[in-house]
């Protein structure tokens, strides 16, 4: 059975190009009414433009229903207005894809704190702003699908991306709590960790000549599935060039050193404490609390 989104309303942030554009287009093709949000700025977040309008027009030209919005996800009042406009026009919001992001890469030694805060404001706080405004809507309608955009830079680290990596792993922590709090309202929150060739990656090492094999539209099937009725809850799917795989946070059994444990006890047992050969998934551990 074909997955479709008839009578569903989606908001996709950062949808003026790259990954977000592909997500918005596919949701539109499959019947969703799509609010295309994009500030229209450059990769570092400066400037503005008409990117969202162009994508909304493309969805409409393909027979879909869409409208554009140029709010910055860092501007809470503008996000509130975006959500209010969506409700006024279409009556509900079923799907939120938090995709908006910027890059300001530097090694930590050279990183200005201004650029630390700018990146966290867009990726992490921006996702909080949109989710906070939409959360009561989803609770009231007893339905919601939220997708966070994390990254391998957050999951595993990447040279020169301390700000970006911190923001991206922060989204996983945010997701984990929403997973628990939203379940009873049929609100499922998941994360996508994409590897794709976009304008944000074109200057990064390893992305040379990668446009074909790491096309952003190869990430979109996983994102759109996470927007569907059949989505899991609280999972991370990685997507790269047609390969789809998952990641999670794990813990091992460790060792019980009792109430009188000392630093020396830690030293003597450090190999067992750090051994991940026999581990448990965080989802299993949470389930058994």
Which among 70, 71, 67, 41 is positioned nearest to 56, based on CA atoms?
A: 67
Do residues 14 and 148 make contact, with C-beta atoms less than 8 angstroms apart?
A: no
How far is it, in rounded angstroms, from Cα 32 to Cα 22? Answer: 14
Two structure tokens written together for 145? 């699908």
List own/partner pairs for 105-111 with CB under 8 A and 24 or more apart: 105/160, 105/161, 105/164, 105/204, 106/160, 107/159, 107/160, 107/162, 108/162, 111/162, 111/163
9: left (phi over 0), alpha (psi -120 to 50) or beta: beta
Per the listing, tokens 């093709």 go with 29
Query: Is position 185 annotated as part of the catalytic site?
Result: no
140: left (phi over 0), alpha (psi -120 to 50) or beta: alpha
Q: Which of 143, 164, 185, 245 is catalytic?
A: 164
Rounded to 10°, the helix 51-61/18-29 angle is 30
Catalytic site positions: 164
């Amino acid at each position: 059975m074909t997955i479709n989104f008839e009578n569903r309303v989606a908001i996709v942030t950062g949808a003026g190009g790259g990954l977000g554009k592909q997500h918005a287009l596919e949701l539109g093709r499959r019947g969703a009414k799509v609010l295309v949000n994009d500030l229209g700025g450059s990769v570092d977040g400066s400037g503005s433009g008409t990117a969202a309008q162009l994508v909304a027009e493309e969805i409409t030209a393909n027979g879909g229903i869409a409208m554009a919005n140029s709010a910055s996800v860092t501007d809470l009042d503008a996000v509130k207005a975006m959500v209010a406009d969506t409700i006024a026009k279409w009556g509900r919001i079923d799907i939120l894809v938090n995709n908006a992001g910027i890059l300001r890469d530097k090694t930590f030694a050279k990183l200005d704190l201004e650029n630390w805060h700018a990146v966290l404001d867009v990726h992490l706080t921006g996702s909080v702003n949109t989710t906070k405004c939409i959360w009561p809507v989803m609770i009231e309608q007893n339905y919601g699908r939220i997708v966070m955009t994390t990254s391998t830079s957050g999951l595993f680290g990447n040279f020169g991306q301390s700000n970006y990596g911190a923001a991206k792993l922060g989204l996983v922590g945010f997701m984990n709590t929403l997973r628990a709090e939203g379940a009873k309202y049929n609100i499922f929150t998941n994360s996508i960790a994409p590897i794709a060739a976009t304008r944000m990656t074109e200057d990064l090492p390893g992305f040379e000549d990668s446009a074909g094999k790491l096309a952003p539209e190869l990430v979109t099937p996983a994102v759109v599935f996470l927007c569907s009725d059949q989505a899991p809850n609280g999972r991370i799917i990685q997507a790269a060039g047609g390969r789809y795989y998952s990641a999670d946070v794990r813990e091992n059994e460790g060792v019980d050193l009792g109430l009188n444990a000392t630093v020396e006890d830690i030293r003597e047992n450090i190999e067992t404490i750090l051994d991940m050969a026999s581990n448990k998934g965080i989802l299993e551990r949470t389930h058994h609390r």
